[in-house]
A and B are shown apart, each in its own frame.
Chain A
Amino acid sequence: MKILFIALSGLIVAQPTAANPARDAILKSFASEAGVSSFSAAAGKEFFQGTHQGGKPESPSCTSCHTKNLRNQGRTRVGKVIEPMAVSANPNRFTDPEKVAKWFRRNCNTVLGRECSAAEKGNILTYLMSQ
């Protein structure tokens, strides 16, 4: 029993972020829209940290405003603070589906000049949840 308890605690500690039903539901809806069963944090990282074309020249990357370290605060183009994107640093992130939809729509348009696919959004979200 004791061993089982220790093993379970280890599992909980190993989890990068606390599970949140609202956030899981958002991820699930991306999965069903994209027709996949899981997402790739590595692909999300490449997308988030990468440089894109087709959007505004002032913001060619997600990191233009959010910075490369997701546990840090970012800054909008007009100087306002953006709270950290990493769920570990900001546990309320990605728990409001409308907010998530609004910001993916806006920011994908600004950075890429198009909306992101459900697969891209799922990968990004998975990456941000792992941080």
Chain B
Amino acid sequence: MTLWNNVKLAAIIITVAVLPQNAAADGPGIGKITNALTAEECSACHMAYQPGFLPIRSWRKIMSTLPDHFGEDASLSEADRTKIEKYLVRNAADRNGRNPRFLRRIPASEVPLRITEFRWFTHEHGTRLRNWAARQPEIGTLSNCQGCHRGADRGWFDDD
């Protein structure tokens, strides 16, 4: 077997091993935040969650209630608030009329605010895993993606 054949074989194995997992995951497709202001402001207290995690209506709600942001005052200047909301809305999960699978079972009248309460999230992070994570002082809370997914802020979640 030549080296090239080995490389091809390895590529096939990797493809087969990785593809079905990705296809099975109904979660959102996530990349890296490309807006510097959004990355900086939203990562002051927690990892800056990528806009593709939530639909437009959720981001609008979050960005209009910053003085009481999950119990914390996260208020911004109006100029920064507007810029960040624009970026989040433009890159939200349902941007440009998209209808990703993970949003389909949620009625339009409902405004989901917590990524950790989505069905895909609780499915991929089962009860035992969630209970274990909550007991680890280095993780502390499920909101801390990077507690386990070291590259989460760059959009790498497939390291589990």
Residues of A within 8 A of B (CB): 56, 58, 75-80, 98, 102, 105-107, 109-110
Contacts and interface: CB of A to CB of B under 8 A. Distances in A.
A78 B71 contact: no
B158 interface: no
* Interface of chain B, main secondary structure: loop
B147 A106 contact: no
Nearest to A111: B73
Interface residues of B, number: 20
A79 B74 contact: no
B141 interface: yes
B73 A79 contact: no
Interface of B: 43-47, 67, 71-77, 138-141, 143-144, 147
Contacts, number: 45
A102 B74 CA distance: 9
A78 B48 CA distance: 12
A105 B47 contact: no
Nearest to B143: A78
A58 B71 contact: yes
12 contacts: A56-B71, A56-B72, A58-B71, A75-B140, A78-B141, A78-B144, A79-B138, A80-B44, A80-B46, A102-B76, A105-B75, A106-B72
